[in-house]
Structure 1
Amino acid sequence: MSTSLTPEVIEAIMRGEHGDPVAVLGPHALPEGEGAGLVIRAFRPGAATMTVVPLALGLRDQPMTRIHPEGVFEAVFPGRREAFPYRLRWRDGEGHESEAEDEYRFGSRLSDYDLYLMGEGRHYQEYEKLGAHLTEMDGVSGVSFGVWAPNARRVSVVGDFNGWDGRVHPMRLHPGNGIWEIFIPGLGVGTLYKFEVLPPEGPPVLKADPYAFAFELPPRTASIVTDLAYEWRDAAWMATRAEKHALDAPLAIYEVHLGSWRRKAGGEFLRYQELAQELAAYVKAMGYTHVELLPITEHPFYGSWGYQPIGLFAPTCRHGSPQDFMAFVDTLHQHGIGVILDWVPAHFPQDPHGLIYFDGTHLYEHADPRQREHPDWGTRIFNYGRNEVANFLLGSALFWLDTYHLDGLRVDAVASMLYLDYGRKPGEWIPNAHGGNENLEAIAFLKRFNEVVYQYHPDVM
């Protein structure tokens, strides 16, 4: 059958190398010169036959024509001017039949204003848009995914649901700011996923979701679709928190690393709820007003004590789920104890599934090694002068205060952020525009961090 697609476009779709799959797959008006009508295209690797199953009245199932033996199909609906809801049904070479919604018939979840604020670096609740979110679109339930990777040639969502095949669910690119997104119907809580990123050069790489709310237990590295719904019972604490944090209010802070403070007899980690009960009783008896948690943001290397995080939006699963950590904070609040988190915006580890070289370029870190590498810790330093990176970090700070009701953030490794020559010998660092050793971008970030946190949560520490 003749098709308006060129062989090069078909091959790119089949190989997973097309940078704009939404322009090809799903429903589209027929090109000029071919009359009024609608064409629907789909790709399922290994499919031998495929049928469009309309959900609209008056339309019959329509077999699709295979235009590439690897599983690229299209069907034409002459005279049809508007798209309609439908599903896809296909059989593989062994006769196994499957049916599902077509991801490419759904529009974008991001508004123009979302995209504008993201580009400006002022979308402080960006974590509500990027990452993985339970979503309903056109009455269909599923999960929407979003990620920032402006230099990638293609980004896909992969998981058990598509055989970890990056060709199946390539994402829609918003070229103005490098945001990729897709809505995948039928997925739900507990789905394991990663982003497969095709960099400017070389083969695709698998990345954890920078905005993931939960991760697998290390050394496994997949992100997990999570529902953050929780019924809080700390209204009394939240209502009086400003009084407790007044300058003349008493303050005594107990610093604690949850994994070291107490364990089960066999050495296993205690769950967040178990820790909460014992910790609340202990700090209350000792006269403390707050606990300060060594970082519980998800980290692959346990020996770092959390100071080399990968997941800046996820509590470590070593002690339980996100709801379990919410219950931990809730319990301490009900006992009159505030919760402060050691928060690490200074650097991140070089684990290949993390932020490092995320889209095949130095995206979150500086390109120049004199600004990029932390010589003492073997980590990468955030590029605070990049709007999107600063917004990512500010979003993380607000996320913990918004979502987990935390009462304060202690910024870790501030000295390493403030000084360009921190831990470096002469010739190993770059002076600022005035010839000094102050990191002006980091200073501006920390000022903005304080301003934004105070704007949204004036009663936290």
Structure 2
Amino acid sequence: MAKQLEDYMQWPEIEALMYAECGRPETVLGPKQVDKSHVLITAFEPEADSIVVSGEDLKKEYKMTKMDETGYFAVLIQAKKIPSYHFVLKQGKKKIEKTDAYAVDSLFDGVDMTQFSNGIHDTVYEKMGAHPMTIEGVKGTYFAVWAPEAKAVSVVGDFNDWQAARNPMRYLEAAGIYELFVPGVSAGDLYKYEIWGADGKRVMKADPYGNYAEHRPATASIVWDLNKYHWKDAKWLTERKKWNAKKEPMLVYEVALGAFKKPADAEKEFYNYRELAPMICDYCEEMGYTHVELMPIMEHPYDASWGYQVTGYYAPTSRYGTPDDFMYFVDYLHQHGLGVILDWVPAHFPKDEHGLARFDGTCLYEHLDKRQGEHPHWGTLIYNYGRPEVINFLTANALFWLERFHIDGLRMDAVASMLYLDYGKEDGEWVANVYGGNENLEAIAFLQNLNKKIHERKDGSFSIAEESTAWPQVTGPVKEGGLDFDLKWNMGWMNDYLEYIRTDPLFRKGRHGMLTFSMIYQYSEDFMLVLSHDEVVHMKGSMFTKMPGSISDKFATLRLTYGYMAAHPGKKLIFMGQEFGQEREFSEKRELDWNLLDAVDGEMSDNERLRQYVSVLNSFYLAHPAMYELDARPAGFEWISTLDADHSVIAFLRKSKDETLLVVCNFTPVSYEAFRIGVPFAGKYKEIFNSDASEYGGTGFVNPRVKQSKRKHWDGRVNSIECRLAPLSIQIFSCTKVPSNAGRKKKER
């Protein structure tokens, strides 16, 4: 006896649809070949009065039977294979044509699922998340989310009145992914995932792979098409392929986008990315910076976290505009010769309910054991670096920013907290690795693999580690046990130097070793010297207020500090505002104190003089290969004087293949009319830079004449010069060798 329509009804699952508790909606929705000549088509449309199945492949239209008052419809049609069809819904007087979402094939094939499950799907962001597309002539959006332990997942939004029962998602068991193509959903539509978790709780989650989000405090994701923007930075990207972060000059300006400048209009909270682009670009071009480093612009709920507690890793924050607006920002800077570095936070994530925490009712992205899964000091959660899908999420995210937003480099935050299992923890608060040690072996493998993938791109993109301990080989190659970062922040130099320079000049001689110690380990890593935002917050004071002495002494010491930093081996980074002597600490609530640059009684302000000084200093750095060419090689640096603690003076050489510069730094407010310095060879020494020049606000204690060396032993050298040594200053001399037989030939004539 032939089966009737009723025979195919799976009533428990159908009832579960109404309560959004059907974890496998594909079993009771969509088309199914039930025998050689019949196809069962079902639909759940609670608001429909009637539904007709229509399509070019069908010989006739089929009216569906309403099997249940909740809105479950079904029909058996004669067909030897599943045809192409659509629904015609009647709702009162309205007729609506609609594609059956459950008739659309999955975009995940076996390779996708295998790669994702093994943590090696580098472009998984092209499948996960929300993607507007047209399938078989039907416009809609494809959604996919990883939630393997969830009992059921629905995509909800304005398009279905946020009703979970309307769009339950299909489950791909092989990868733990829920997916669904929803016709009619387009860019700009709000959505979330309603997840019935393994713990029995229902939560509304933002999309971990979403590309755009609502402006805080709202937390919904927004559908966006990243393929619409037309880039114009091809020349930059071509030139970047020749670039090597370890060898090229690098002057980085660290920026908090929301506090660089604020709109005068009180009703407008932030400038748009497109408005900020020329503001920041023009300023950095004038100042001579090579790169802008942005504090995290990934979506985050809390302004005061400065972006370091991320909930939307694949979404530039909507505070400043759309993803296209941020693309414009990067594009604009590239077209004007500026690189863009992003702060990226793979170490931890916040506990916000709409974020990654307990995503499917289990500890999905984090560890179950709190000793492994929580940062006690930060109140955040630690990624489970041993889970392939989590590694895939992070690895693909880093590559996503490089690929889709043309980012030049990633500065990875809090790397030390990733490397040590006991970071910030007491005994009993952490779990040792399999060998009984405190090294996080899984995080180490993750970082090594990620840096390998970045370098395999061979497009000039690079990575920087903020690593605050003495972990060896952070920038070393993996084959030698290194992490393979291109650069490492030199936190040791920064801490020692700031401790030294805060000391009253009278007592600096007792801390002289703090000035010279950094060169002992300089060549153990490829370093970047930093005076970052971390040093001008939390009651630490600004760079200006750290400097001791009178106002003029403070400015002189800042000029010396920035000059010494420029001359010391390593790439450079400074936080916004410190280049002109910002007096107040950084706050995300206000813009920089640009008024400090205004003239005072018709005279140039000290802050403007300092700003101009830094601009000249940056130009000097870029113009002299000796300042950067051999940063990573001992041949690029040579001490002249390290032991003159009594005068708090140091002197050294910076060298390139074709240039040698003599650098002399005086860290006291005492000037000397005739200060003797050893020199590397007999020759002429011309002062080409002096931070005490009057145009910078100094005393004008300079050396206008070329110095001819004399054969007088000093600083362990055969030859030496006498120079005027300005107070609290850095002075740089060009070095021109004079042939040793020049004097003899003159006498013979």
TM tier, shorter chain?
A: over 0.9
Asked whether 1:24 is paired with 2:28, we answer yes
Decide whether the 8 Å contact of 1:14 with 1:72 is kept in 2. Answer: no
How far residue 57 of structure 1 moved from its aligned partner, in angstroms, is 5.5
Asked whether 1:66 is paired with 2:66, we answer yes
Q: Distance in 2 between matches of 1:58 and 1:175?
A: 32
What residue is the counterpart of 2:80 in the other structure? 81
What residue is the counterpart of 1:331 in the other structure? 332
| Runs of 4+ residues over 4 Å off in structure 1 | 94-97
How far residue 290 of structure 1 moved from its aligned partner, in angstroms, is 0.6
How far residue 246 of structure 1 moved from its aligned partner, in angstroms, is 5.0
Per-residue deviation, residues 62-114 of structure 1 (Å, max 9, x unmatched): 2211111100110111x32222222223345x665433111111111112111
1:282–1:245: structure 2 CA closer, same or farther, 3 Å change rule? farther
What residue is the counterpart of 1:262 in the other structure? 261
Q: Distance in 1 between matches of 2:10 and 2:170?
A: 20
How far residue 370 of structure 1 moved from its aligned partner, in angstroms, is 0.4
Per-residue deviation, residues 278-299 of structure 1 (Å, max 9, x unmatched): 1111111111111110000010
Could you say which structure has the greater relative contact order, defined with CA pairs below 8 angstroms and 6 or more residues apart?
A: 1
What residue is the counterpart of 1:249 in the other structure? 248
Letter matched to residue 425 of structure 1: E
Per-residue deviation, residues 136-157 of structure 1 (Å, max 9, x unmatched): 2222221111111100111111
What residue is the counterpart of 1:367 in the other structure? 368
Q: Distance in 2 between matches of 1:224 and 1:141?
A: 17
What residue is the counterpart of 2:300 in the other structure? 299
Per-residue deviation, residues 304-323 of structure 1 (Å, max 9, x unmatched): 01000111111111111111
Aligned-residue CA RMSD in angstroms? 1.6
Decide whether the 8 Å contact of 1:243 with 1:249 is kept in 2. Answer: no
Decide whether the 8 Å contact of 1:47 with 1:70 is kept in 2. Answer: no
How far residue 243 of structure 1 moved from its aligned partner, in angstroms, is 3.6
Letter matched to residue 262 of structure 1: K
Q: Secondary structure at the match of 2:143?
A: strand
Letter matched to residue 324 of structure 1: D
Q: Which of residues 130, 133, 149 in structure 2 aligns to 1:132?
A: 130
What residue is the counterpart of 2:195 in the other structure? 197
Asked whether 1:118 is paired with 2:119, we answer no
Asked whether 1:435 is paired with 2:436, we answer yes
What residue is the counterpart of 1:14 in the other structure? 18
1:385–1:225: structure 2 CA closer, same or farther, 3 Å change rule? same
Q: Secondary structure at the match of 1:28?
A: strand
Q: Which of residues 183, 186, 201 in structure 1 aligns to 2:184?
A: 186
Letter matched to residue 128 of structure 1: E
How far residue 132 of structure 1 moved from its aligned partner, in angstroms, is 0.6
Decide whether the 8 Å contact of 1:195 with 1:209 is kept in 2. Answer: yes
Q: Secondary structure at the match of 1:30?
A: strand
What residue is the counterpart of 1:5 in the other structure? 9
Q: Distance in 1 between matches of 2:334 and 2:459?
A: 18
Decide whether the 8 Å contact of 1:27 with 1:104 is kept in 2. Answer: yes
What residue is the counterpart of 1:162 in the other structure? 160
Q: Secondary structure at the match of 2:121?
A: coil
Q: Secondary structure at the match of 1:429?
A: coil
Deviates more, 1:298-307 or 1:431-440: 431-440
Decide whether the 8 Å contact of 2:144 with 2:178 is kept in 1. Answer: yes
Decide whether the 8 Å contact of 1:143 with 1:183 is kept in 2. Answer: yes
TM-score by length of 2: 0.59
Aligned residues: 455
TM-score by length of 1: 0.95
Structure whose alpha-carbon radius of gyration is higher: 2
Q: Secondary structure at the match of 1:142?
A: strand
Letter matched to residue 73 of structure 2: F
Unaligned runs of 5+ in 2: 463-749
Letter matched to residue 80 of structure 1: A
What residue is the counterpart of 2:285 in the other structure? 284
Decide whether the 8 Å contact of 2:420 with 2:440 is kept in 1. Answer: yes
Q: Secondary structure at the match of 1:295?
A: coil
What residue is the counterpart of 1:444 in the other structure? 445
Q: Distance in 2 between matches of 1:377 and 1:175?
A: 35
Decide whether the 8 Å contact of 2:254 with 2:293 is kept in 1. Answer: yes
Per-residue deviation, residues 168-194 of structure 1 (Å, max 9, x unmatched): 111111111201111111221111111
What residue is the counterpart of 1:105 in the other structure? 103
Q: Distance in 2 between matches of 1:111 and 1:176?
A: 10
Q: Distance in 1 between matches of 2:187 and 2:209?
A: 16
Q: Distance in 2 between matches of 1:249 and 1:178?
A: 45
Q: Secondary structure at the match of 1:47?
A: coil
Decide whether the 8 Å contact of 1:349 with 1:378 is kept in 2. Answer: yes
Letter matched to residue 313 of structure 1: Y
Deviates more, 1:260-269 or 1:210-219: 260-269
Q: Distance in 1 between matches of 2:265 and 2:136?
A: 50
Asked whether 1:351 is paired with 2:346, we answer no
